[in-house]
């Protein structure tokens, strides 16, 4: 497989091919995922919960993400590497530019940030400065205290329309990829149809252009309850390599996520 770029993902969406992505935090797992044919890996601020044992993602720092991005980059030959901008690391455009530079220099091909209309100018500034951007709408974990917990978003018609508008606005500002988390399948379909860039779902049904899972959830090694939208692929295969291959295959065929992993 040749190196995956944002152009590759766009061509996949245009051709109706599904995009498989997963979180990664070190070189060894990154190598496994890359060899299996994963299209993109996210160094997510989820590392605060699955690696550090925090109750949410808020304590994660830019330095944490940079370190793990560097590790993942050392294990990747082909997949697109995306790095999260953690909580309050992109409160102003200037702060965002400086922190994005750190992530790109650590090995990221793209940065990801959470939010809607308030980020339009920041996204434009990043794109003007040659930084590819992935957006994130729906359940944005950095807003957990505003939401009052990890809850499905967009069930109210006004909130759903606002999310569609934000997706369009982010695309116009220049994002090239959009993560949709914990939203009703019907809304995920409406957003995917409303934008021309690829959408990546997690708890958004199988109507998005691709899927992402936290690797610890996909392999059943998270402590605590595995989210409704996840599936333990390792339990089904007994082998990490085969588990990742099954995940990629089931994303590609639309078998994952099923109705039992989705929200209405």
151 in a labelled binding site: no
34 in a labelled binding site: no
**Following CA atoms 262, 57, 64, 124 in sequence, which dihedral angle do they give, to the nearest 10 degrees?**
70
User: What CA–CA distance (Å, rounded) separates 131 from 124?
Assistant: 10
Known catalytic residues? 181
11 in a labelled binding site: no
114 in a labelled binding site: yes
Bridge-partner residues for 20, per DSSP?
211
Tens of pLDDT, residue by residue over 23-75, are: 999 999 999 999 999 999 999 999 999 999 998 999 999 999 999 999 999 99
Note the pTM of the prediction, 2 decimals: 0.96
The secondary structure of 183-227 as a DSSP string is --HHHHHHHHHH-SS-EEEESS-S-SSEEEE-HHHHTT--SSPPP
- Residues 191 and 180 sit within 8 Å (Cβ to Cβ): yes
Per-residue pLDDT for 113 more than 90? yes
84 in a labelled binding site: yes
Tens of pLDDT, residue by residue over 135-145, are: 999 988 887 77
């Amino acid at each position: 497989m040749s190196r995956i770029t944002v152009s590759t993902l766009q061509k996949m969406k245009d051709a109706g091919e599904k995009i498989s992505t997963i979180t990664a935090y070190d070189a060894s797992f990154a190598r496994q995922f890359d060899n299996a044919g994963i299209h993109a890996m996210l160094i997510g601020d989820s590392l605060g919960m699955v690696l550090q044992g925090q109750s949410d993602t808020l304590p994660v720092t830019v330095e944490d993400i940079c370190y793990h991005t560097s590790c993942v980059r050392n294990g990747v030959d082909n997949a697109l590497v995306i790095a999260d901008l953690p909580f309050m690391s992109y409160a102003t455009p200037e702060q965002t530019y400086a922190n994005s530079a750190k992530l790109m220099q650590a090995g990221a091909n793209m940065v990801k940030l959470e939010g809607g209309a308030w980020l339009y100018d920041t996204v434009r500034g990043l794109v003007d400065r040659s930084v590819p951007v992935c957006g994130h709408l729906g359940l944005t974990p950095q807003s957990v205290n505003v939401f009052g917990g990890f809850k499905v978003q967009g069930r109210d018609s006004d909130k759903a329309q606002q999310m569609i508008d934000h997706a369009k606005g982010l695309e116009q500002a220049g994002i090239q990829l959009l993560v949709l988390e914990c939203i009703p399948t019907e809304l995920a379909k409406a957003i995917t149809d409303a934008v021309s860039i690829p959408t990546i779902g997690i708890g958004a049904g199988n109507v998005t252009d691709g899927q992402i899972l936290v690797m610890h959830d996909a392999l059943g090694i998270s402590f605590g309850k595995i989210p409704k939208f996840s599936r333990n692929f390792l339990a089904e295969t007994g082998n990490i390599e085969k588990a990742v291959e099954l995940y990629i295959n089931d994303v590609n065929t639309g078998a994952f996520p099923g109705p039992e992993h989705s929200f209405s």
